[in-house]
Structure formats: structure tokens, C-alpha cells
Amino acid sequence: MIALLAFILLNDSIPDSTKTERVDTLRQIIVKGETRSPLEKAIEGSLARQIQPSVPSLGDVLEKVSPGINDKMLHPFAIKQRKSERKHKRDKKILDEYDRIITFEDLLREAVAKQQLEDEAEKRRAEEDKEAHKISK
């Protein structure tokens, strides 16, 4: 039976009166990629309303109460490392304070620069006065 149908469909010797033309009878449908069904939206909304706040862990509570205690409990033999960190912190603070101190050389440089600016301004004023005096004669 299948062989007979295949023969009929493939054979061009069939008279035109028995041949049928194929016509596309399906409707065209436009599919949009980002559309979601109302059911999906309702489920997402329900899940969003049911979000519960996160419960802080013991480590989070310990860090808020006493920063660094969790490290001391979990790594009790890291005393040497913590001691060197404290020393570095203290040394950095001392160096920062030292850098902020204005030395005598800094004050002297500033005074010399200020005096040079004043001398140049006085020299310009004197030259302008000379020129103004020459013009008035």
C-alpha cells in the first residue's frame, strides 16, 4: 500500500485531472521571544513575596561584637603574625606623623621663595615707576 502511494506521488504520468495542487492553508503566527504567561508571572510574584531575611551566622555575629575574634579562635597559633601586623601598623603611623612634620629646611625654602617673589614684584614696580617718570618729562 505504501509502495503504491509512493509510486503515485512520484510518477508524473498521472493525468492532470487526478493531480491536486498543494496549497498552504496554515495561518502565520508571530512568536515573540520575551513573552511570559500570566501563570509564570504569578508564580514569580508569589516567590518574591515569600523571601525571608537571611539569618546571620555565628561568625557574622562574632565579627560585629568583636572584630578579629573569629580569627583568634580559629587560628590560635598565629600570634606571631598578628604581632608583626600590630608592629607594622604602629610603624606606619609613626612614619605618617613624621612625614607631616614641617622641617626647618621646608620653612626656609618657603621663606626664600616668598622673598624672591616679593623682590621681583618690587623690581617690576621700580621699573614701571622709572618708565612712567620718563614719559611724564
Percent of the chain with pLDDT over 90: 27
Per-residue pLDDT, 15: 55
Percent of the chain with pLDDT over 70: 85
The CB-side HSE value for 62 (13 A sphere, CA atoms) comes to: 10
Cell, residue 119: 623682590
| Residue 115 pLDDT > 90 | yes
| Residue 111 pLDDT > 90 | yes
Three-state DSSP string of the chain: CHHHHHHHHHCCCCCCCCCCCCCCCCCCCCCCCCCCCHHHHHHHHHHHHCCCCCCCCHHHHHHHHCCCHHHHHHCCCCHHHHHHHHHHHHHHHHHHHHHHCCCHHHHHHHHHHHHHHHHHHHHHHHHHHHHHHHHHC
